[in-house]
């Protein structure tokens, strides 16, 4: 039998997995799907993500203003690339982890809110049943 608790866990795991796939692969579609699945709590989570992103971008060397690169290939098809000005690895990892955690937290918040609403509805239904029965 599927319980509400299992359903809530599955929902959170699905949001976390889709967010992880999105952030680790750079898939905008997967990140948007995770955000849509985690609505309405994903709205403040996304705002928090961009605030954190902006603060981390202020660290020197995290987010260069420009980048350049070059590549050369031999007639045999061997290519060599070089680039400068890419995002710092720690910055990319930190922002990806933050995005995954914030969307997962949004899903957890949604589950907590639904549980609270269900408890209130059960409480008001049992109170109204007691009133009707004269207890």
Locate the domains of the chain by residue range: 4-61+90-133
Angle, CA of 67, 71 and 77, to the nearest 5°: 155
Residue 38 · residue 49 · CB < 8 Å: no
% of residues, the chain, pLDDT over 70: 84
pLDDT of residue 72: 82
Q: Tell me: the pLDDT tens digits for 102-125? A: 999 999 999 999 999 999 998 877
Cβ contacts of 109 within 8 Å, gap of 6 or more = 41
């Amino acid at each position: 039998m599927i319980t509400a608790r299992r359903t809530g866990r599955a929902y959170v795991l699905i949001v976390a997995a889709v967010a992880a796939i999105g952030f680790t692969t750079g898939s905008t579609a997967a990140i948007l799907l995770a955000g849509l699945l985690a609505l309405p709590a994903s709205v403040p989570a996304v705002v928090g993500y961009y605030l954190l992103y902006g603060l981390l971008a202020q660290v020197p060397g995290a987010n260069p203003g420009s980048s350049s690169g070059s590549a050369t290939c031999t007639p045999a098809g061997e290519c060599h690339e070089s680039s400068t000005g890419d995002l710092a690895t720690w910055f990319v990892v930190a922002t990806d982890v933050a995005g995954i955690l914030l969307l997962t937290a949004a899903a957890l918040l949604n589950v907590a809110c639904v549980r609270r609403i269900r408890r209130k509805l059960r409480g008001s239904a049992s109170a109204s049943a007691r009133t009707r029965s004269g207890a």
